[in-house]
Amino acid sequence: MVTDEELKKVYGMFTDAWKFYKKYADVQQSDEYWESVLDESRQIAKKYDNAKLAIALLLAAIDELERKSKEMPQNAT
């Protein structure tokens, strides 16, 4: 049985991942942008003791940011 505390932790992971994605959704083509993405994702993962779910959510968000980056006009070939 899942406790309320466990559910709150999972809720926190999802909301933090959403806030993370929202913050970086306007993808930039700069080293500073991507360094910030990686630094903040590490901080969030650490907040949840590198829980597999937190890492999976963050990686999914980063994958989407990378997909958007590759589709930007200046990256078209």
Q: How many residues does the chain have?
A: 77
CA 1 to chain centre: 28
| Mean pLDDT (whole number) for 19-23 | 98
Q: How much is the pLDDT for 75?
A: 53
Compute the distance between CA of residue 65 and CA of residue 69 in angstroms, rounded to an integer.
6
pLDDT at 74 exceeding the cut of 90? no
DSSP state of 1: -
Residue 73's pLDDT band (cuts 50, 70, 90): confident
Structure token digits, residue 74: 């200046």
pLDDT at 10 exceeding the cut of 70? yes
Residue 70's pLDDT band (cuts 50, 70, 90): very high
pLDDT at 33 exceeding the cut of 80? yes
pTM for this prediction: 0.90
